């Protein structure tokens, strides 16, 4: 009986090792595919940013007054939003907030 039990254990160990090897290969393949996808997405993002920068430079050169006006409007809008947020009275804790609602 002892040799058959040892043989059975040996077979199960071999099967487990084979499954572990296949799992490791699958994980390595998935990581490799993921790395390739990350590189592709990074390159596409870089190209898109480069194109946006080029288009922006071209537009600024073609329409300098509109660019200055748009920048001024954005600055005024951001300043007004920040000023409005700074003037608001903050609620420091939940007890203060509950008192104000009652």
| Per-residue pLDDT tens over the stretch 17-62 | 888 888 888 888 888 777 788 888 889 999 999 999 999 899 889 9
Residue 59 contacts residue 67 (beta carbons within 8 Å) = yes
> What's the predicted TM-score (pTM) here?
0.44
Domain chopping of the chain, boundaries: 2-87
Residue 81 contacts residue 88 (beta carbons within 8 Å) = no
Q: And the tokens for 74?
A: 């954005």
Instruction: Determine the Cα–Cα distance for residues 24 and 20; give it in Å rounded to an integer.
Output: 6
| Cβ within 8 Å of residue 51, ≥6 positions away | none
**Which of these, 56, 36, 35, 38, lies nearest to 46 by C-alpha position?**
38
């Amino acid at each position: 009986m002892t040799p058959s039990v040892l043989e059975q254990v040996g077979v199960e160990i071999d099967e487990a090792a084979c499954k572990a090897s296949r799992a490791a290969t699958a994980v390595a393949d998935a990581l490799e595919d993921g790395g390739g996808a990350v590189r592709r997405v990074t390159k596409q993002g870089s190209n898109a940013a480069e194109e946006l920068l080029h288009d922006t430079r071209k537009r600024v050169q073609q329409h300098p007054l509109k660019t200055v006006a748009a920048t001024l409007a954005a600055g005024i809008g951001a300043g007004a939003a920040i000023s409005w947020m700074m003037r608001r009275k903050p609620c420091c804790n939940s007890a203060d907030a509950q008192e104000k609602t009652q």
